[in-house]
């Protein structure tokens, strides 16, 4: 999978953001930024592909935005909002964070702890996407 430019997100070069994300830990497999119908995504070089590019694209266009909407609405009722979602799939875990205008999805190797990297992930988001 290669960097897929996102023209509507206000920038087209997510390379520095992806590089910072992959530098956080070797257990990060895949990173995506979604803003509406605009998706930018990149997979770590050398990672065995657990799902196809098409499958990942639909994940980013449909599944993650829908789950974030549902969880955000619940969180806003009386839970103090939503910080993140962790989706535990069979081959990886997806750590999904809302950001202004969209979200970031960081996929981790099974058995790794996404929360242990959450502060570094949030700092990278602040440097590149804020």
Q: How many CB atoms lie within 10 A of CB 7?
A: 9
As a whole number of angstroms, the distance between CA 127 and CA 111 comes to 28
Assess if residue 27 is contained within a domain. yes
Question: Can you give the residue range of the structural domain that contains 108?
Answer: 7-128
In total, how many domains does the chain have?
1
Q: What's the whole-number mean pLDDT along residues 7-36?
A: 86
Residue 1, domain member (yes or no): no
Assigned domain for 2 exists: no
Residue 96 Cα distances to 46, 55, 82, angstroms: 23, 17, 11
- Per-residue confidence band for 53, with pLDDT thresholds at 50, 70 and 90: confident
Q: Residue 31 falls within a domain, yes or no?
A: yes
pTM for this one?
A: 0.89
Residue 87, strand partner residues: 94
Domain assignment present for residue 119? The answer is yes
pLDDT tens per residue across span 73-125: 999 999 999 999 999 999 999 999 999 999 999 999 999 999 999 999 999 99
Task: Give a yes or no: residue 58 inside a domain.
Answer: yes
Residue 113: inside a domain: yes
Could you say which DSSP state residue 94 is in? Answer: E
Instruction: Judge whether 95 and 119 are in contact, CB under 8 Å.
Output: no
- Whether 59 maps to a domain, the answer reads yes
Is residue 56 within 8 A of residue 105, CB to CB? The reply is no
CATH number of domain containing 18:
3.30.450.30
């Amino acid at each position: 999978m290669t960097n897929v430019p996102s023209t509507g997100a206000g920038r087209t070069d997510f390379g520095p953001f992806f590089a910072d994300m992959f530098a956080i830990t070797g257990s990060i497999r895949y990173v995506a930024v979604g803003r509406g119908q605009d998706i930018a995504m990149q997979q770590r070089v050398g990672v065995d592909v657990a799902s196809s590019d098409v499958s990942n694209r639909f994940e980013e266009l449909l599944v993650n935005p829908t789950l974030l909407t549902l969880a955000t609405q619940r969180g806003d009722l009386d839970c103090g909002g939503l910080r993140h979602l962790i989706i535990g799939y069979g081959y990886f875990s997806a750590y999904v964070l809302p950001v202004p205008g969209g979200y970031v999805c960081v996929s981790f190797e099974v058995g790794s702890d996404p929360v242990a990297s959450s502060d570094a992930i949030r700092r990278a988001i602040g440097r590149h996407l804020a």
